[in-house]
Every structure is written in C-alpha cells, then in structure tokens.
A and B are shown apart, each in its own frame.
Chain A
Amino acid sequence: MGATLIVARRELAGYFATPVAYVFIVIFLVMTGALTFTLGNFFGRGVADLQPFFGFVPWLFLFLVPALTMRLWAEERRLGTIELLLTLPLAQWQAVLGKFLAAWAFCAIALALTFPLVITVNYLGNPDNGVIAAGYAGCLLVAGAFLAVGAAISALTKNQVIAFVLTVAVCFLFTAAGSPVVTEFLSVRLPILVEIARGVSITERLGGFSRGIVSLPDLVFFASFIGFWLFANALVVDHRKAD
C-alpha cells in the first residue's frame, strides 16, 4: 500500500503545480453555481434541498473528468516517464491505483469546495442534511466511475485529444443509458435491452443517492464498475507500456 500512496501524493501535488487544478476547480465551481441558481431554479422551487445541484454535477463531470484523465497515462508516455515509473520497485497495480486515487482525491476536493451551497441551503431553510451527504457520496462515486474509465482509455493512446473524446463518448454512453429517451426508444425496438441499459446506467444509480438512499446494490455497482475499469487499466498498461 505504501508505494500506492507515494504515487498518489506525487500525482496530487502535480495537479497543483500546474494551472490544471485551478482552472478545473474554478470552472467547476462557477458552472455548478450558475447552473444551480439559473436552470436549477434554486430559489424559485421553494424547497430546501440540493436536488438541482446533484442533477447537474454528473453532466459537468462528464466533460471535466475526461479533461483530468486524458493526461494521466498519455502524458507519462509522451514524456517517457512511464519508463521511469515502471522501473521503480513498485508493482504495476500500485501505479495504476495511485494515479486513480490522486485524481479521485482531487475531485473530492473540488466537490468539497461547493460547501457554500450547503451553508446557503441550511441558512435559508431546514434541509435534510443526511440526504445532502448521500448526494455528495453519489457524486463522488460518479466521479470515480468516470475517472476509472478515463484512466483506462488514457493508457491506450499517446494522444490526449483522442483520450478525451473517447472518454467523453464512453462516459456519455453510461450516463445516457438510463435516460427516458434511450429506454423509450429501446422498449419499442429492442425490449430485451431496456433492462440492461437501465442496469448499467450511472444516472439511474445516482437517483437513489440524491434521494438520500444509499443502497448496497448501488454501492456494489460502483465498486465493481470502478474495479473493472482499473483492472482493464492495469492490463492495458502492462500490455502497451513500451509501445
């Protein structure tokens, strides 16, 4: 475990050593704030909760998380540092996990910085803070799921633009799978696929969290989703490290 955390620590410091971290956080905060108060009709709804906020976060992550992960392995390849990293005495899974944990911790920091919304809603009314905590947990899991996808795709290519576009596409697939547009279309054409589409849908899973329900199947879904993509990431790194 030691080497994993050392890699994670280096990565996380790397985010803050470049403008990446600040641009990401500022854009994320501005967008979440703006969307929650305008499109989300935060005041007009007259309800003391953060439903609109939790509705927007996955869609923002859909574009911001791939921007974070596109450089994860692609940059190591470009600089040649992957050769350095993987010839240090650490197992490959430790490098994979370390990079993922750093990116996840970074997303957690960005989410934590939306705390003024929590203060605002508590000042204006009496929200159920348990529901809000569950919503945050859900958002963090969505970030983790997208990060795991993005990290694996980043290991596939040296080109960061390709990594970004592919990651957005794959994440969009898992986000949109449970949306009414898709399920209605499928129920007319291919009814067998409706349940599968809803089963792999990230938004479907997030629904429970934003209503305050943390259920074991949802947790297992996210854990296995992240686990699967990290495993794929390790395989890809092992197979293509020297290409």
Chain B
Amino acid sequence: MSALIEIDRLSKRFGAFTAVDDVSFSVAKGEVLGFLGPNGAGKSTTMKMLAGFVTPSSGTARICGEDVVDRPVPAKRNLGYLPEGAPTYPEMTVSGFLAFAARVRGFRGSEMRDRVAHAMSLTTLEGVRLQPIETLSKGFKRRVGLAQSLLHDPQVLVLDEPTDGLDPNQKHEVRRLIEQMAPSKAIIISTHILEEVSAICTRAIVIARGKVLADATPKELSYRGPTLDAVFRDLTMPKESA
C-alpha cells in the first residue's frame, strides 16, 4: 500500500532565509501525523507547499501520486485543506460558502446539497447555516473552514491548527471527528498542543528551523524524557551547553 502523501527533499527559501530545509516524509492511509514545532519552524510553509499554495524552491510533494506543482488540479481534488487561521469570505452565509466550495469541486444539484448538509452535520453547524460568517464566533468560523475541507470526503486531509480558538468541548468534538475519519484517510495536523498529539496522532514529526528533528510515534517520543513537554523543549531549543 503506497503512501497518499509523499514529500521528498522539500525546501523553501525566502531570499537568504531557509524556511523549510530538505524535509522528506510520507503518510499512508490510516495514519494521523502530528506536525509539531515552535512558531516559525516551517510547519505552515510545509503545509502550504503540500497544498500547492507556496511553490517549493526545490523538492517535490505528491498527493495520491499527483505532483502538486506539475498537476495541481488533480492533486487538489484529493485534498481537503484547512489553511492557517481558517480564512473564509465574511459576507457569505455558512451554507452559501459551503455550496460555493462544493460547486468548485464539481458537485451539482441534490448531491451538492447533500454534501453541504453532511459537512454541516459533521461540524455541528446546522444552527447557524443562514448566518453571515462574519457574525460568527471564532470557534464557529474555524468549524466552517473545517467543514469546507471535509465536503468532498477527500483521501488526504491537511489541517493547519484545526483546534486553535475552540473551547474544550469543541476541541473534543474535532478530535473525535478526526479519530472517526482516520482509518480511511491520510491526515496531517499541525498543533501547539502536545496532549493533542498523544490523544489522536499515530505519529509525530517535530520540526524546528526548517528541519525535521524527530519522526516517531507519540509513545516513542515520550520515552525520551520525563514528559512530552520536556522532550519537545529538548529537541527544539537551540543547545549551547550540555
């Protein structure tokens, strides 16, 4: 069984600054990969390159075998992507926005309506379906972005901080949702919350200053120190002494 996400020697340089430095990994169906790292480590840039938004300086990224640079449209068809901050069009209603995303993905008529309804029920948005997105709270906005990424039941999900700004109950809901979907998809989530990784991820990659520092299961990672927090600090803090 080949991997659904293949990232091979991916780098991104902005002038003299290297945001992502020779990153390689792959994610197979059924895996939930937690992407960990301090702010500015290159997590979002890597995800943006995988989603086809940022053009890599070198290296390749493939989704379901389709290269995101050479064949962007087929690659994006298999991808559900939640960008950082979950951007949405503020003046649109929840259902209008989801219908737009569904139409771009080629759904029409009753199938389109079913897809939108299903995505709204997964993220419990039915109560606000006719509200303009700008009137919603942060947690709802994030769920609208999440619903958009789930609409077409993609094989690959890339979620940049999916639980940021959610209250504890909503966080729990989103984690449960990811766990439910996990067996049939390859999922990457980035997060700052370490418990989240041990709770839902089957594998964790720690990245700092653009480089992959660790690639292991959350359990293996936690064995390397007294707590996962300590392991994370140990890996990502620049070492001078010791």
A binds B: yes
Chain A nearest Cβ from B51, distance in angstroms = 5
- Interface flag for A121 (CB, 8 Å): no
Q: Are the CB atoms of A14 and B83 closer together than 8 Å? A: no
With A6-B103, A89-B77 given, is the CB distance from A242 to B89 under 8 Å?
no
- Interface flag for A10 (CB, 8 Å): yes
User: In the assembly, what is the distance between CA of A14 and CA of B133, in Å?
Assistant: 13
Q: Are the CB atoms of A10 and B53 closer together than 8 Å? A: no
Chain B nearest Cβ from A69, distance in angstroms = 18
Q: Which of A7, A17, A84, A91 sits near B87, CB closer than 8 Å?
A: A84
Residues in A whose Cβ lies below 8 Å from that of B85:
80
Q: Which of B53, B90, B132 sits near A87, CB closer than 8 Å?
A: B53
In this complex, how many residues of chain A approach chain B with their Cβ under 8 Å: the count is 22
Q: Are the CB atoms of A6 and B100 closer together than 8 Å? A: yes
With A80-B83, A241-B53 given, is the CB distance from A18 to B104 under 8 Å?
no
With A17-B92, A79-B89, A242-B48 given, is the CB distance from A87 to B81 under 8 Å?
yes
Q: Which of B55, B73, B91 sits near A14, CB closer than 8 Å?
A: B91
- Interface flag for A86 (CB, 8 Å): yes
Residues in B whose Cβ lies below 8 Å from that of A44:
none
Residues in A whose Cβ lies below 8 Å from that of B89:
10, 14, 79, 81
User: In the assembly, what is the distance between CA of A2 and CA of B53, in Å?
Assistant: 21
Q: Are the CB atoms of A87 and B92 closer together than 8 Å? A: no
- Interface flag for B212 (CB, 8 Å): no
Q: Are the CB atoms of A242 and B53 closer together than 8 Å? A: yes
- Interface flag for B211 (CB, 8 Å): no
User: In the assembly, what is the distance between CA of A86 and CA of B83, in Å?
Assistant: 11
Q: Are the CB atoms of B79 and A87 closer together than 8 Å? A: yes
Q: Which of A3, A7, A83, A241 sits near B83, CB closer than 8 Å?
A: A83
Chain A residues 1 to 34 lying within 8 A of chain B, measured CB to CB, are 2-3, 6-7, 10, 13-14, 17-18
Residues in A whose Cβ lies below 8 Å from that of B105:
88-89
User: In the assembly, what is the distance between CA of A84 and CA of B88, in Å?
Assistant: 8
Chain B residues 61 to 116 lying within 8 A of chain A, measured CB to CB, are 72-74, 76-77, 79, 81, 83-85, 87-92, 96, 100-101, 103-106
* A-B Cβ contacts below 8 A, count: 68
With A6-B104, A80-B83 given, is the CB distance from A87 to B76 under 8 Å?
yes
- Interface flag for B218 (CB, 8 Å): no
With A10-B100, A79-B87 given, is the CB distance from A2 to B54 under 8 Å?
no
User: In the assembly, what is the distance between CA of A7 and CA of B101, in Å?
Assistant: 10
Q: Are the CB atoms of B54 and A7 closer together than 8 Å? A: no
Q: Which of A10, A17, A18, A84 sits near B148, CB closer than 8 Å?
A: A84
Closest to B82 in A: A84
Chain A residues 71 to 88 lying within 8 A of chain B, measured CB to CB, are 79-81, 83-84, 86-88
Q: Which of B74, B88, B90, B101 sits near A88, CB closer than 8 Å?
A: B101
Closest to B49 in A: A242
Residues in B whose Cβ lies below 8 Å from that of A3:
104
Residues in A whose Cβ lies below 8 Å from that of B148:
84
- Interface flag for B52 (CB, 8 Å): yes
- Interface flag for A109 (CB, 8 Å): no
Chain A nearest Cβ from B207, distance in angstroms = 19
Q: Which of B81, B87, B106 sits near A80, CB closer than 8 Å?
A: B87
Chain B nearest Cβ from A72, distance in angstroms = 13
With A80-B87, A84-B87, A89-B104 given, is the CB distance from A14 to B92 under 8 Å?
yes
Q: Are the CB atoms of A89 and B81 closer together than 8 Å? A: no
Q: Are the CB atoms of A17 and B91 closer together than 8 Å? A: yes
Can you pick out 6 interface pairs between chain A and chain B where the beta carbons lie within 8 Å of each other?
Answer: A6-B103, A7-B104, A81-B89, A88-B105, A89-B76, A90-B104
Nearest 5 pairs between A and B by C-beta? Answer: A80-B87, A89-B76, A17-B91, A83-B83, A242-B54
